Chains A and B, each alone.
Chain A
Amino acid sequence: MSRSPVIETRGLTKHFGSHRTRVEAVRGLDLSIGAGELVALLGPNGAGKSTTLRMLTTLTPPSSGTARVAGHDVLADPDAVRRAIGYVGQGNGAGHQQRGRDELVSQGRAHGLSRARARERADELVADLDLAAVVDRPTIGSSGGQRRRLDIAMGLVHAPDVLFLDEPSTGLDPQNRAHLQDLVRRLHAERACTVVLTTHYLEEADALAERVVVVDHGRIVADDTATALKSALGDLLVLRLADPAAAARAATRAERLRGRQGQPPSVTVEDREVRVRVAHGREAVAGLVAALAADGDAVGSLEVSGPTLDDVFLALTGRRLREDGPGSERSEETAA
Chain B
Amino acid sequence: MSTTTGRADPAAPTRGRGPDAPRRPSWLGDVRNVAVRELAPLRRQPASVLMAMMQPLVFLALFAPLLPEVPGGSALQWFVPGIVTMTALMGASFAGAGLMDEMLTGSHERMLVSPLRRSALLVGRALKEVVPMLAQTAIILAVVTPFSFDLHPAGVLLGMVVLSLFAVGVGALSLALGLVAHGEPWLFWGVQQTVVFPLLLLAGVLLPLDGAPAWLRVLAALNPMTYVIEAERALFAGSFPAADVAAGLVAAAAVAVLGLLVGVRGMRRSA
Contact = CB atoms under 8 A, between A and B. Distances in A.
A68 interface: no
Given A82-B114, A102-B40, A192-B8, A112 B107 contact: no
Contacts of B40: 98-99, 102, 106
A89 B11 contact: no
B30 interface: yes
A299 B110 CA distance: 58
Interface stretch (A17-25, A52-60, A277-285): A52-60
Interface stretch (A113-121, A229-237, A238-246, A268-276): A113-121
B107 A94 contact: yes
A60 B271 contact: yes
A36 B104 CA distance: 32
Nearest to B270: A59
A114 B13 CA distance: 10
Contacts of B113: 57-59, 82, 85, 87, 89
Interface in B1-33: 1-2, 4-9, 11-13, 19-20, 22-25, 29-30, 33
Given A98-B37, A112-B24, A192-B5, A154 B110 contact: yes
A188 B25 CA distance: 28
B105 interface: yes
B25 A36 contact: no
A4 to B, nearest CB: 11
- Chain B, interface size category, equals 35 or more
Contacts of A182: none
B150 interface: no
Contact of B5 (A35, A108, A111): A35
Interface string B85-122: 00000000000000001101111011111111000000
B30 to A, nearest CB: 7
| Secondary structure call for the B interface | loop
A191 B7 CA distance: 7
A107 interface: yes
A130 interface: no
Given A89-B106, A93-B107, A102-B37, A124 B11 contact: yes
A103 B37 contact: yes
Contacts of B109: 59, 89, 91, 93
A92 B105 contact: yes
Nearest to A187: B9
Nearest to B24: A112
A110 B5 contact: no
A291 interface: no
Contacts of A117: 13, 20
A258 B8 CA distance: 47
Nearest to B41: A97
A110 B33 contact: yes
B107 A98 contact: yes
A319 interface: no
A110 B5 CA distance: 27
A92 B106 contact: yes
Nearest to A90: B106
Given A102-B37, A106-B33, A210 B1 contact: yes
B2 A36 contact: yes
11 contacts: A92-B106, A94-B107, A95-B37, A98-B37, A109-B33, A113-B22, A117-B13, A151-B110, A158-B22, A189-B2, A192-B8
Kindly list the 6 A-B residue pairs having the minimum CB-CB distance in the complex, ordered from nearest.
A91-B106, A159-B12, A93-B110, A112-B22, A95-B107, A87-B113
Interface of A: 3, 35-38, 54, 57-60, 79, 82-83, 85, 87, 89-99, 102-103, 106-114, 116-117, 121, 124-125, 128, 138, 151, 154, 158-159, 188-193, 210, 336
